[in-house]
Amino acid sequence: MMDADTLASPGQPSPTHEEPAFRVFIDSLSYLKPEEVNLVRDAYAFADAAHRGQMRYSGEPYITHPLAVAGALAEWRMDVQAVVAALLHDVMEDTAVTKSEIGKRFGKQVAELVDGLSKLDKIEFQSHQEAQAENFRKMLMAMAHDLRVVLIKLADRLHNLQTMSAVRLDKRKRIAAETLEIYAPIANRLGLNKVYRELQDLSFQLIHPLRAKILARAVRSAQGNRRELLTRILDNINCKMIDAGIAAQVFGREKSLYSIYRKMEEKRLSFSQVLDIYGFRVVVRDIPTCYMALGALHSLYKPVPGKFKDYIAIPKVNGYQSLHTTLIGPYGTPIEVQIRNREMHHVAQEGVASHWLYKDAEERGADLQQKTSKWLQSLLELQSGTRDSAEFLEHVKIDLFPDEVYVFTPKGQIMELPRGATAVDFAYMVHTDVGNHCVAARINQELMPLRTELRNGDQVEVVTAPNATPNAAWLSYVRTGRARSKIRHFLKVAQHDESSELGEQLLAQELQHLGLQAGDVPPASWEELVRESGVRSMKDVYTDIGLGKRIAAVVVRRLLAKDDSFVEEFPKMSTVVIRGTEGMAIQMAPCCLPIPGDTIIGSIRKGQGLVVHCLDCPGILKSRSSEPKKWIDVEWQPAEGKLFEARIRITAKNARGVLAQMAAAISEANSNIENISMEEKTPGVYTTLAFTLEVANRDHLARVMRALRHVPEVIRISRERGE
């Protein structure tokens, strides 16, 4: 595709149907019906004509690339639509061929597959990152509707990496990094182990060619040095299987270069310290025999405690099943062994593609496709709650690195979560409403906070409250894309509603200043305003006013069909009434923390809504004089029971029990302590303490300060302004 291949001027002719590569490809389609093979021939001829004259960086005709991608799909024994789409996957992007043209000639399914793979080259993006995020979003959405899209895309990316030697160095590294970040994890998530390992190793060689070369040399050298030891272990395992009457295939398994490199990086090890470069795989007849083989191996070599994993009883989310155990072999060498049956081996190597590859894996493949479909449906859920492509990609990335933790519901159902997941992640996995209203969790019958990380085997029960709502702080510790997406969606909707209410209030007050009410404006004027503004409804206009994206005075002028140039002469906005319960749409400035009773002033900041300051706040003096039009008058009409934060500073004698006395005085004055910090003014004599308190208004704060003055050790007390 264009990200790895560029087009040159016409020159070298494209291959004909007599080319050896084409003949080998056609021979590999023996599993298809004759009429389907003819359709593939037609698709090849169509792609050949469309790409004629186009070249890859290597100088080869461009058609060699789609032919190689289609060949990979044929190896997976994919259906005819997938093979045809692989041959045509670049024609919409790189030539004048349209989706409707493909649909008429090769069918709607093929056209949808090709469209899902095509990039959005004709759309203007602010940055390359934004373009890439939107491309991934489109591909993943197409993948959610049809899994074949991603299988073609992975084959496409794999061939691009294999043939990238002629591509510019910076482009090589960018594409390789993108592969490690997105495509390799997708291959892993779908259980395509061979593709996953190859994508990782090729990307590693492109990003760090020298390191990859040195590491490959070290692995070959280690293989030579340990050959006798490895042969001895292999022979011992084979003999043990025969003695136990178990028919098994036993073979050595080498770690990929990239996995060795990553282990060295993450654990800061030298190559000589990475002992498990080689492992062994035992493939047996059925599941009971897997456990018999495990017992035989544990009697041959001592197992390492805590290093046994049963992925047969609890498969990984991508359908992978095996028994993993680590043994202490000769000379204290750790040996990693995987035990599985033939069907599990097929799935471990080919993942979802095993459904097409192996007849004996059809039932397992169907189950795996069902699991994959469940994950893909979760992508559609993320998409529905996320408009921003970069944010959507961030959520997907989180779900692409699932080092799993398995926990239980109170009814004994197993739930899979990524390592580091918290009780909040669990709550959102159960149901969105459970997540939105959760307040705590019982983990193994013990009440725990929501930020508690879950461990394998935990039994989790979520405690909810009808009035509870998501907290923005949850975003700092949730691990699943689903939880992150749902929390952000709730907060955005809440902010939208609050900002809409504020915007409606500001607009009504502007109209009132002209002696009008909202009902006095003809409905046609409201409709015209919405149409001109390019939004869906008047509520969106109110939201923009509340968030500071539009000025109420300008909107009123448009509403009354007057020119925007009169805004300069428009009278000053009416006073806005603040109740203190508006939430995110109205914010108390952290620099001065105004409370009811303070004289206040407000400024509408883009994307923040109305920010309220004390009139004498030193942080706004310059802005008020240089930009007076940005400031509006506001006044208090506090809601009953609403508390506000206020800061006070106390200097007190450094004596035993002083802090307890001050805390008691604050409590008796019906205030809560939100935060406390202290610093020694003169060591051993005085201490200065900074309290953040919750108070209803200035009178309440004055009562708290009077109560504190009655503590004999308090020398000085003042309200704190500024951070």
Read out DSSP for 508-530?
A: HHHHHHTT--GGGS-HHHHHHHH
Is the pLDDT confidence value at 662 over 70?
A: yes
CB 193 within 8 A of CB 357: no
Give percent above pLDDT 90 in the chain: 14
Identify the weakest region by mean pLDDT among 28-37, 139-148, 301-310, 407-416: 139-148
Choosing from 79, 93, 394, 645, the catalytic residue is 93
- Measured between alpha carbons, how far is 450 from 453 in angstroms, rounded to an integer? 8
Is the pLDDT confidence value at 334 over 70?
A: yes
Dihedral (CA of 294, 298, 300, 304) sign: positive
Is the pLDDT confidence value at 661 over 60?
A: yes
Domain positions in the chain are: 20-213, 489-636, 644-719
Q: What would the mean pLDDT of 649-659 be, rounded to a whole number?
A: 87
399 token code pair: 């779900």
CB 329 within 8 A of CB 233: yes
Q: What would the mean pLDDT of 22-43 be, rounded to a whole number?
A: 89
**Chain-centre distance of CA 663, in angstroms?**
43
Task: State the virtual CA torsion across 287, 289, 292, 297 in degrees, nearest 10.
Answer: -100
Identify the weakest region by mean pLDDT among 2-11, 261-270, 347-356: 2-11
pLDDT level of residue 277 (50, 70, 90 thresholds): low
What's the CA angle centered on 612, arms 607 and 615, to 5 degrees?
A: 140
Q: What would the mean pLDDT of 292-316 be, rounded to a whole number?
A: 87
- Note the pLDDT of residue 148: 82
Choosing from 90, 94, 156, 461, the catalytic residue is 94
- Note the pLDDT of residue 723: 54
- Measured between alpha carbons, how far is 544 from 292 in angstroms, rounded to an integer? 67
Of 427, 407, 414, 437, residue with least CA distance to 478: 427
145 token code pair: 């509707």
Write the CB contacts of 151 (distance below 8 Å, at least 6 apart in sequence).
Answer: 73, 76, 78, 82, 352, 353
Is the pLDDT confidence value at 131 over 90?
A: no
- Measured between alpha carbons, how far is 367 from 156 in angstroms, rounded to an integer? 26
- Note the pLDDT of residue 531: 78
Highest mean pLDDT among 178-182, 240-244, 480-484, 636-640: 240-244
Of 345, 339, 378, 381, residue with least CA distance to 360: 345
623 token code pair: 């802005």
Give percent above pLDDT 70 in the chain: 78
Tokens 């300069």 correspond to 568
CB burial of 477-510 (b: ≥16 within 10 Å; e: otherwise) equals bbbbbbbbbbbbbbbeeebbbbbbbbbbbbbbbb
CB atoms within 10 A of CB 360: 12
Read out DSSP for 472-496?
A: GGGGGT---HHHHHHHHHHHHHHHH
Q: What would the mean pLDDT of 673-702 be, rounded to a whole number?
A: 82
- Note the pLDDT of residue 283: 93
- Note the pLDDT of residue 494: 76
- According to DSSP H, which parts of 184-308 are helical? 184-189, 193-207, 209-225, 227-243, 257-267, 287-300
For 437-443, the CB contacts below 8 A with 24+ separation are 437/464, 437/465, 437/466, 437/468, 437/469, 438/462, 438/463, 438/464, 438/468, 439/463, 439/464, 439/465, 439/468
pLDDT tens digits, 14-27: 444 557 888 888 88
For 185-188, the CB contacts below 8 A with 24+ separation are 185/397, 185/400, 185/401, 186/150, 186/154, 186/400, 187/154, 187/351, 188/318, 188/400
CATH architecture of the domain 20-213 equals Orthogonal Bundle (1.10)
- Measured between alpha carbons, how far is 599 from 591 in angstroms, rounded to an integer? 15
pLDDT level of residue 577 (50, 70, 90 thresholds): low
- Measured between alpha carbons, how far is 516 from 700 in angstroms, rounded to an integer? 39
- Measured between alpha carbons, how far is 521 from 534 in angstroms, rounded to an integer? 20
Higher pLDDT, 176 or 165: 176
- Measured between alpha carbons, how far is 365 from 348 in angstroms, rounded to an integer? 11
- Measured between alpha carbons, how far is 150 from 318 in angstroms, rounded to an integer? 15
pLDDT tens digits, 379-434: 555 555 555 555 555 555 555 555 677 788 888 777 878 778 899 999 998 888 99
> Is 433 a known active-site residue?
no
Q: What would the mean pLDDT of 178-192 be, rounded to a whole number?
A: 81
Of 196, 176, 193, residue with least CA distance to 184: 196
- Note the pLDDT of residue 126: 47
Is the pLDDT confidence value at 79 over 70?
A: yes
CB 573 within 8 A of CB 507: no
Beta bridge partners of 414: 408
Is the pLDDT confidence value at 262 over 70?
A: yes
- Give the side-chain half-sphere CA count within 13 A for 309: 17
- According to DSSP H, which parts of 534-576 are helical? 538-546, 552-559
- Note the pLDDT of residue 565: 38
Write the CB contacts of 605 (distance below 8 Å, at least 6 apart in sequence).
Answer: 548, 611
Q: Which CATH class is domain 644-719?
A: alpha beta
CB 508 within 8 A of CB 518: yes
pTM of the model: 0.55
If DSSP codes are grouped into helix, strand and coil, which group holds residue 692? strand
If DSSP codes are grouped into helix, strand and coil, which group holds residue 504? helix
pLDDT tens digits, 534-552: 777 888 888 777 766 676 7
- Note the pLDDT of residue 705: 93
162 token code pair: 């294999």
- Measured between alpha carbons, how far is 295 from 230 in angstroms, rounded to an integer? 21
Instruction: Kindly report the average pLDDT of the chain as a whole number.
Output: 78
Identify the weakest region by mean pLDDT among 7-16, 61-70, 595-604: 7-16
- Measured between alpha carbons, how far is 535 from 527 in angstroms, rounded to an integer? 11
CB 623 within 8 A of CB 603: yes
Is the pLDDT confidence value at 235 over 70?
A: yes
- Measured between alpha carbons, how far is 195 from 157 in angstroms, rounded to an integer? 10
- Note the pLDDT of residue 391: 57
> Is 156 a known active-site residue?
no
- Note the pLDDT of residue 120: 41
CB atoms within 10 A of CB 650: 23
